[in-house]
């Protein structure tokens, strides 16, 4: 697991280099570790119509889901600040759809800050299983 953790962090840092961010000049890289053991990466992709911008985290999770992944173990995020870049509110909701207890690794130059997704998004919105089965 330690090796995978290092791999995940390296993957997020590499993905950050691919960021398309001509408007904010703020690169973000993300890497998500699926239960299969595979790692999927993402970077932010901005647009001249600013609101269409997609965050790195959502790019990574969409890549994984579209490759057939169903559950996830951890997500690493690398921003460009000397403090952590936690996923934005929209990304938290997007991620919790797939994995409530996702481990989040926030990368800075000095340290890796660890959070759980539940901690970042308490009282989140979800349809109950009973409702879906009605």
| Touching ligand THU, residues 3-32 (CB under 6 A) | 21, 24, 26, 28
The nearest distance, CB 14 to ligand THU, in angstroms, is 15
Active site residue 57: yes
**Closest to ligand THU by CB, 39 or 61:** 61
| Residue position matching structure tokens 């996923």 | 87
126: exposed, middle or buried (Cβ count in 10 Å: 0-12, 13-18, 19+) = exposed
**Closest to ligand THU by CB, 60 or 73:** 60
Which residue from 33, 44, 61, 105 is in contact with ligand THU, where contact means CB under 6 A?
Answer: 44
What are residue 39's DSSP bridge partners? Answer: 33
| Residue 83 tokens, joined | 């403090």
**Closest to ligand THU by CB, 37 or 51:** 51
Separation between Cα atoms, residue 94 and residue 59, nearest integer Å: 11
User: At what angle are helices 2-16 and 56-66 packed, to 10 degrees?
Assistant: 120
Binding status of residue 71 toward ligand THU by CB under 6 A: no
The catalytic residue among 6, 7, 10, 57 is 57
Number of residues lying near ligand THU (CB under 6 A): 14
Q: What DSSP string runs through 58-96?
A: HHHHHHHHHTT---EEEEEEE-SSSS--PPPHHHHHHHH
Q: Which residues bind ligand THU (CB under 6 A)?
A: 21, 24, 26, 28, 44, 46, 53, 55-57, 85, 87-88, 91
Residues annotated catalytic, as ranges = 57
């Amino acid at each position: 697991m330690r090796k995978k953790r290092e791999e995940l962090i390296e993957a997020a840092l590499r993905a950050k280099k691919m960021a398309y961010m001509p408007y904010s000049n703020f690169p973000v890289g993300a890497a998500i570790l699926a239960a299969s053991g595979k790692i999927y990466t993402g970077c932010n992709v901005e647009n001249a119509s600013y609101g269409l911008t997609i965050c790195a985290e959502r790019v990574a999770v969409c890549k994984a889901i579209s490759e057939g992944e169903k559950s996830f173990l951890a997500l690493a995020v690398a921003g460009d600040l000397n403090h952590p870049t936690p996923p934005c509110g929209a990304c938290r909701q997007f991620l919790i759809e797939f994995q409530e207890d996702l481990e989040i690794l926030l990368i800075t130059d000095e340290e890796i800050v660890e959070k759980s997704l539940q901690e970042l998004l308490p009282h989140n919105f979800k349809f109950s299983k009973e409702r879906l089965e009605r």
